[in-house]
């Protein structure tokens, strides 16, 4: 036994207990800081003891949902999974999760670890956990004041990926031309996934798309099929670079309103039909990614199917709650691409009064200019009242006004909790309302709902 490691784990566990006991939050990050003060290598040491290795999941959108899907599939296959399920995805949060899920001797209580990683923290997370598999979902513009431009993240990721050893595997969304290029020529093994179904393709490249040019030569890309933002089946108009062949392809995608989706995975071993109880094309990508990673890890197709069927939305991600006789659907929005896909889902899934909560705290990004890249004009033909709230709710109201939304449909509200109470009061009994919050607004909203006995605290789910 490593006494220093054991002491660090003990301190992490004790601090998490005290934080929750004192009602100071979920203890999903600070215990990692405390444990690391005692043993700076606590994460490295714990990760190395996981017999089945670590899986690191990274991407701008879909990290929490995909990592939960993958953890569910692995659990369904009989594995004991260590997972930062709370979504605390910086190094301190990942360390806290490992400490929480280890014995006092410093031995992890799991066969495999699924680690959701923040984009900026990805290099350090990979360096310290030495993953067996890296799952890359997408790269979109997000929190420019924190992450910088897309190329900044891509450059840092590229350096990290090129340092992976031959025994590692990278499972990558080949529909993202930036990620496909970043993962060329790696020492590690590369496996690819993507879509071949054209049922839900876009007609034109959205103005908020980020990677519409070839990363080899800088020429424009031509899309045979365009599915979501810059994700699709592409070919460079100058050098001929094109989407790599797919190891796992999604076909026959069927979006079933807000209730869920079905698709068929095509692999070298034959087709696999799957169903997931989450809506939207972006969740089809999440299910595809989780399945591709699980199959790469040797999971049986039956466990993939059962794991996805049993999956339930993570907190704040298409989360459905009933409050005072009204049905509320909480959908996190945090960047233009994600927000636009939520609007696309709402267009396809049926309209209902919508409250948009915008905050600008550190975890949201202090710069809210990204609201002007949201295609708010899509709401012109969705005849429902639009409420705005949060610290920067007025900025959202202004964006909607410039999108041409008639003033009689706009209801500016203040911050929480008054915004929630007014919105719910205005919904008809047994009616449905959507709430689209940014990250810290979502945490505050759930804190209010937890205090009122409507939901569990997110760290208890």
User: Does pLDDT of 211 surpass 80?
Assistant: no
What is the mean predicted confidence (pLDDT) over 109-115? 96
Task: Report how far residue 333's alpha carbon sits from residue 441's, in angstroms, rounded to the nearest whole number.
Answer: 10
- CATH code (residue 81): 3.40.1190.10
What are residue 275's DSSP bridge partners? 262
Residues 213 and 135 in one domain: yes
Q: At residue 397, what are phi and psi to the nearest 5 degrees? A: -60, -40
39-53, 195-209, 305-319: which has the highest mean pLDDT? 39-53
Residue ranges at the known binding site: 214, 217, 236, 239
Q: What is the pLDDT of residues 265-290, one digit of tens each?
A: 999 999 999 999 988 899 999 999 99
Which DSSP state fits 60? S
The answer to whether residues 305 and 328 belong to one domain is no
pLDDT at residue 322 tops 90:
yes
Same domain, 278 and 391: no
- Asked whether residue 358 falls in the same domain as residue 262, the answer is no
- Range of 167's domain? 3-310
pLDDT number for residue 164: 98
Tell me, yes or no, whether 322 and 418 share the same domain: yes
State the pLDDT confidence band at 146, using cuts at 50, 70 and 90: low
- 25: number of CA atoms within 13 Å, CB side? 11
Last residue of one domain, picked from the residues 257, 289, 310: 310
How sure is the predictor about 118, in pLDDT bands with cuts at 50, 70 and 90?
A: very high
Determine how many CB atoms are found less than 10 A away from the CB of residue 362: 12
Residue 209, pLDDT above cutoff 80? no
Tokens 């076909």 belong to: 251
Average pLDDT over residues 236-245: 95
Residue 305 lies in a domain: yes
In a domain, 266, yes or no: yes
Dihedral over Cα of 324, 329, 334, 336: its sign:
negative
User: Residue 459 domain-assigned?
Assistant: no
Per the structure, the count of domains in the chain is: 2
Nearest to 335 by CA among 295, 363, 307, 302: 363
Buried b (16+ CB within 10 A) or exposed e, 323-345: beebebbbbbbbbbbbbbbbbbb
Least confident of 12-26, 67-81, 186-200: 12-26
Lowest mean pLDDT among 192-196, 254-258, 383-387, 445-449: 254-258
459 pLDDT above the threshold of 90: no
Q: Could you tell me the pLDDT band of residue 87, with boundaries at 50, 70 and 90?
A: confident
- Alpha-carbon Rg of the chain, whole angstroms? 22
Could you tell me which residues are beta bridge partners of residue 213? 220
- CB neighbours of 342 closer than 8 A, spacing ≥ 6? 280, 331, 333, 436
Task: Answer yes or no: do 115 and 246 share one domain.
Answer: yes
310, 338, 368 — which closes off a domain?
310
151 part of the active site: no
Q: Is the predicted pLDDT of residue 162 greater than 90, yes or no?
A: yes
Residue keyed to tokens 């999903």: 28
Domain co-membership, 88 together with 235: yes
> Based on the domain organization, do 237 and 382 belong to the same domain?
no
pLDDT tier at 457 (50, 70, 90 boundaries)? confident
The region of weakest confidence among 20-29, 84-93, 175-184 is 20-29
When pLDDT is averaged across residues 70-81 and rounded to a whole number, the result is 97
Q: Let me know if 232 is exposed, middle or buried by CB neighbors in 10 A (0-12, 13-18, 19+).
A: buried
Q: In what order do the strands lie in the sheet with 54-58?
A: 81-83, 112-116, 54-58, 133-136, 169-173, 189-195, 248-256, 260-267, 270-276
Domain-embedded: residue 460: no
Considering only 30-39, 199-208, 372-381, 412-421, which range has the smallest mean pLDDT? 199-208
| Mean pLDDT of all residues belonging to the chain | 92
pLDDT surpasses 90 at 345 = no
Same domain, 238 and 349: no
Residue-wise pLDDT tens digits, 370-428 = 999 999 998 988 889 999 999 999 999 999 999 999 999 999 999 999 999 999 999 99
Between CA 343 and CA 350, with CA 307 as vertex, the angle to 5 degrees is 20
Give yes or no for residue 197 having a pLDDT over 90. Answer: no
Strands (E), 237-302: 248-256, 260-267, 270-276
pLDDT of residue 73: 97
Of 367, 373, 381, 415, the active-site residue reads 367
- Domain CATH number, residue 375: 3.90.190.20
Out of 279, 310, 341, a domain closes at: 310
Rounded Cα distance, 65 and 345, in Å: 16
Q: How many whole angstroms separate alpha carbon 157 and alpha carbon 181?
A: 12
* Three-state DSSP class for residue 218: coil
Look at residue 188 and tell me if it is in a domain: yes
Q: Are 68 and 17 in the same domain?
A: yes
Instruction: Please answer whether residues 194 and 214 qualify as being in contact, where contact means their C-beta atoms are separated by less than 8 angstroms.
Output: no
Question: Quick check: 412 and 419 in contact, CB under 8 A?
Answer: no
Which of 334-343, 413-422, 451-460 comes out lowest in average pLDDT? 451-460
Q: Are residues 336 and 226 in the same domain?
A: no
Check residues 215 and 51 and name the one with the higher pLDDT: 51
**265 and 324: one domain?**
no
pLDDT for 202 equals 87
Q: Per the domain annotation, does 458 fall within a domain?
A: no
Residue 349 confidence class, pLDDT cut points 50, 70, 90: low
Look at residue 89 and give its three-state secondary structure. Answer: coil
Measured over the CA atoms of residue 367, residue 372, residue 375 and residue 381, the dihedral's sign is positive
Q: How far apart are the first and last CA of the chain?
A: 32
């Amino acid at each position: 036994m490593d006494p220093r490691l054991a002491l660090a784990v003990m301190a992490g566990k004790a601090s998490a207990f005290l934080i929750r006991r004192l009602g100071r939050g979920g203890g999903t990050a600070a215990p990692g800081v405390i444990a690391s003060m005692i043993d700076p290598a606590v994460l490295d040491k714990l990760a190395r003891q996981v017999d089945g290795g670590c899986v690191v999941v990274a991407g701008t959108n879909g990290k929490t949902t995909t990592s939960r899907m993958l953890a569910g599939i692995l659990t369904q296959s009989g594995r004991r999974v260590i997972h930062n399920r709370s979504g605390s995805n910086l190094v301190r949060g990942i360390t806290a999760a490992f400490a929480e899920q280890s014995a006092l001797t410093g031995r992890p209580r799991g066969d495999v670890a699924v680690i959701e990683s923040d984009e900026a923290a990805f290099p350090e997370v990979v360096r310290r956990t030495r993953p067996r598999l890296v799952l890359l979902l997408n790269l979109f513009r997000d929190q420019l004041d924190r992450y910088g431009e897309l190329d900044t993240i891509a450059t840092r990721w590229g350096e990290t990926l090129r340092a992976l050893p031959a025994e590692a595997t990278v499972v990558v969304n080949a529909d993202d031309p930036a990620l496909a290029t970043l993962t060329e020529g790696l020492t590690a093994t590369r496996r690819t996934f993507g879509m071949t179904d054209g049922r839900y393709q876009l007609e034109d490249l959205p103005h908020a798309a980020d990677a519409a040019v070839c990363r080899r030569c800088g020429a424009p890309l031509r899309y045979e099929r365009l599915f979501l933002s810059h994700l699709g089946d592409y070919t460079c108009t100058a050098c001929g670079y094109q989407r790599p062949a797919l190891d796992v392809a999604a076909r026959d995608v069927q979006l079933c309103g807000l209730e869920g989706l079905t698709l068929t995975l095509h692999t070298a071993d034959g087709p696999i039909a799957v169903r997931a109880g989450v809506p939207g094309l972006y969740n089809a990508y999440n299910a595809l990614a989780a399945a591709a990673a699980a199959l790469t890890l040797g999971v049986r197709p039956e466990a993939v199917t059962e794991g996805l069927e049993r999956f339930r939305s993570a907190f704040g991600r298409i989360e459905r709650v009933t409050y005072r006789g009204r049905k509320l659907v909480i959908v996190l929005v945090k960047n233009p691409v994600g927000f636009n896909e939520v609007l696309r889902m709402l267009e396809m899934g049926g309209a209902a009064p919508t409250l948009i909560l915008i905050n600008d705290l550190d975890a949201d990004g202090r710069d809210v200019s990204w609201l002007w890249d949201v295609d708010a004009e899509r709401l012109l033909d969705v005849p429902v009242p639009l409420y705005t709230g949060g610290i920067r709710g007025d900025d959202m109201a202004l964006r909607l006004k410039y999108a041409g939304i008639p003033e009689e449909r706009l209801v500016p509200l203040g911050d929480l909790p008054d915004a929630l109470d007014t919105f719910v009061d205005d919904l008809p009994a047994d009616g449905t309302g959507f709430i689209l919050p940014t990250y810290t607004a979502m945490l505050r909203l759930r804190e209010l709902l937890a205090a009122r006995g409507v939901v569990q605290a997110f760290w208890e789910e």
